């Protein structure tokens, strides 16, 4: 009986060692990486548009790149991240 218990213990430890300790699978991490790239693109699109002279107003602050495209990329990146976390 002792040998049987020892072999059962060895089998369970071998199964534990073979299984990965990662919370998510490989596809989840790939999707998360894509989401981070999309978020980075959104924040890069959002940057800039300021004026060097504080007394002069710059209309480039309100162009379509900063008012439309950057928020869409940021929200899209967040949606991709939530999808990657929730995917089985």
Residue 79 has pLDDT above 80, yes or no: yes
Is pLDDT at 18 greater than 80 in this prediction?
no
Which residues have C-beta within 8 Å of that of residue 31, sequence separation ≥ 6? 80, 83, 84, 87
Please determine, for residue 60, whether its predicted confidence score (pLDDT) is greater than 60.
yes
| pLDDT higher than 80, residue 10 | no
Whole-number Å distance between alpha carbons of 70 and 16: 45
Query: Roughly what angle, to the nearest 10 degrees, separates helices 26-46 and 70-86?
Result: 160
How much is the average pLDDT of 52-80?
A: 90
The whole-number average pLDDT for the span 49-65 is 81
Would you say 36 and 77 are in contact if contact means Cβ atoms under 8 Å apart? yes
pTM, full prediction: 0.70
């Amino acid at each position: 009986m002792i040998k049987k218990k020892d072999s059962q213990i060895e089998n369970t430890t071998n199964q534990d060692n073979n299984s990965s300790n990662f919370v998510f699978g490989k596809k989840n991490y790939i999707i998360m990486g894509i989401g981070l790239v999309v978020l980075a693109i959104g924040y890069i699109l959002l940057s800039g548009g300021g004026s060097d002279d504080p007394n002069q107003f710059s209309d480039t602050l309100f162009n379509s790149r900063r008012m439309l495209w950057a928020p869409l990329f940021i929200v899209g990146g967040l949606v991709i991240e939530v999808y990657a976390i929730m995917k089985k």
